[in-house]
Amino acid sequence: MARRSLDELILRVINFYPPYLGAGIRVVHRKGDAFTFHVEMALRFYNRNAFGTQFGGSLYAMCDPFYCFLLLRHLGRERFVVWDKAASIEFRRPGKGRVFARFHIPPETVEAIRLQAETGAKVEPVLETDVFDVASGEVVAHVVKTLYVRKKRDSGGATADPGAAPDPPKNRA
């Protein structure tokens, strides 16, 4: 399957991923830009908190995987390991309606990460975005993500960085 076809399939399927479906989170489009995702979430009875506003866990969930997805798409999962390492969310005001977030990594940043990781060094880019209220345009939350990127080890286990973390375990099922 061609990379573009796989990307489009992932975009369609992610909207049916149970945690996203249950929270009302939707990837709305990429606007023909392979370096950007747009995600939104409407306020519904099933994602309200005790105060009638957006549940904080859902606000964070809508921001979770997209920077990893973008880097994996452009670096290639065959050659690089990309993990979430850390994240924080600062709630700035209650989400009282539909909210959206834009995840963008400029091509120059992707290339800089690739070049650094090609040396065998671990790279820990810090990427940030805001979650906005659609009606008012106000910032509801600010999210900071730290990723872990490293070139995969060859089949013999060698890598240019002997102190690098191991590759993730293979499926043990």
For tokens 């549940």, what's the residue?
Answer: 55
Q: What pLDDT was estimated at residue 12?
A: 75
Identify whether the C-beta of residue 41 lies closer than 8 Å to the C-beta of residue 47.
Answer: yes
Please tell me the number of Cα atoms within 13 Å of 24 on its side-chain side: 17
What are the tokens at 126? 């810090």
Identify whether the C-beta of residue 160 lies closer than 8 Å to the C-beta of residue 120.
Answer: yes
Identify whether the C-beta of residue 27 lies closer than 8 Å to the C-beta of residue 17.
Answer: no
Residue 10 falls inside a structural domain: yes
CATH code at position 119: 3.10.129.10
Residue 67 falls inside a structural domain: yes
Residue 120 falls inside a structural domain: yes
User: With a threshold of 0.85, does the pTM exceed it?
Assistant: no
Query: What is the domain range of residue 104?
Result: 3-151
Q: What pLDDT was estimated at residue 160?
A: 45
Residue 59 falls inside a structural domain: yes
Residue 161 falls inside a structural domain: no
Cα(97)–Cα(94) distance, integer angstroms:
9
Q: What pLDDT was estimated at residue 3?
A: 57
* pLDDT in single tens digits along all 173 residues of the chain: 455 555 667 777 888 888 888 889 998 866 568 899 999 999 999 999 999 999 999 999 999 989 998 999 899 989 999 999 999 999 999 999 999 999 999 999 999 999 999 999 999 999 999 999 999 999 999 999 999 999 998 755 555 444 555 555 555 55
Residue 157 falls inside a structural domain: no
**How many structural domains comprise the chain?**
1
Q: What pLDDT was estimated at residue 57?
A: 94
Cα(60)–Cα(119) distance, integer angstroms:
33
Residue 164 falls inside a structural domain: no
Identify whether the C-beta of residue 23 lies closer than 8 Å to the C-beta of residue 61.
Answer: yes
Residue 163 falls inside a structural domain: no
